[in-house]
Amino acid sequence: MNDTSQRELWSMDSDQLRKESLQILSRAIALLDKDPRMETPLADFSTDYAKGWHMAVGTYFRDALEIKQTPKVTEESKTVIWTQGGTFSFSQGDILYDTPLAYQQWDAALQHIQTAYQVLENTASRPEKQQVYFRKNPSYTGSLAGERNRGNISRREAILKVTPTEWTEEDKLGALVKSSTQSYVSPGLLDMLCDLGAMERKVEVVAPRFPGHIKIKIMVPNSDRSALCAKNEMTMSQDEFVKLLITGIQS
C-alpha cells in the first residue's frame, strides 16, 4: 500500500471516529442531572490522545470532558469502567494543540504545530435539572396487581397508603415510604403504580441545560516557526468547544 492510500485510510478512520464522538456528544448533552452516567465515553484514549479528533486532546483532559472511572457491579463481577457525564469544564490556562508532537522539546514542537487553543475564560456547563413529582389518585378503585407482575400486593398498598394526594417531590416521597415501611421504593415501582392509574406523575424543568461559556485564543506559528502568535479570539459554549476539538470546524 502506498503512502497516499495509507493517508486515505487514516482519513476515513478519523471521519468515522469523529462521527461516533459527535453522536456520543449529543447524548451526553441530553443527559439530565440525575441520569445514570453513560457507559460509552466521548473519547477513545487507548493511544493517550482522543483517537480521530482534530485536536490532540490528551488523557489529562478526561476530567474536563467528565470522563471518569465508575464501579460497575453485576451478578458475576465487580469492575471499574470509564463512563461519561454531561458536564464540560475546560479551564483558564488550558492549552490544546493539533498534534501530539507538540509535547516535545519546544523548538522541535514548533515545526509540527499548526493550531493551538488557549483558554482565557471559562464557566462549566451544567445538565438540565428536572424535578419529578408524584401524588396518589384518590379516585382509583382498581386492582394493584397489574397484568405482568402480580406479586407483593401488600408492598404496593403500603406505598399507596403513605403517598399524599398533593404533588410530592420524588425524594420526599421516598423518605415517607422509607419511614413508614423501613425500606426504599424504586422508581420502577412508582412508575408501575402510575401505569395502573393508582398514582400520577409529573415532571418539571427546574433549570434548563446551561451549555457553559469559554473564551479561547487561537494561536498559529509565526513565519519562521520560532513562536506561536495570536491569530484571533473566539467565544463559545463549552458544548461547542468540545465539538470544535472533535471536528476542527468553527461553527
What local confidence, expressed as pLDDT, does residue 13 receive? 81
Q: What is the mean pLDDT of the chain?
A: 92
* Res 3 pLDDT > 60: no
Q: Give the pLDDT confidence of 114-155 residue by residue, as tens digits.
A: 999 999 999 999 999 999 999 999 999 988 886 655 557 888
Looking at the chain, how many residues does it have? Answer: 251
- Quote the DSSP letter at residue 26: H
* Res 9 pLDDT > 90: no
Where do we find the cell 421516598? 174
* Res 6 pLDDT > 70: no
* Res 68 pLDDT > 50: yes
Where do we find the cell 472511572? 69
Q: Give the pLDDT confidence of 83-102 residue by residue, as tens digits.
A: 999 999 999 999 999 999 99
Q: pLDDT-based confidence at 243, cuts 50/70/90? A: very high
Ranges 13-17, 33-37, 58-62, most confident: 58-62
What local confidence, expressed as pLDDT, does residue 145 receive? 81
pTM, whole model, 2 decimals?
0.82
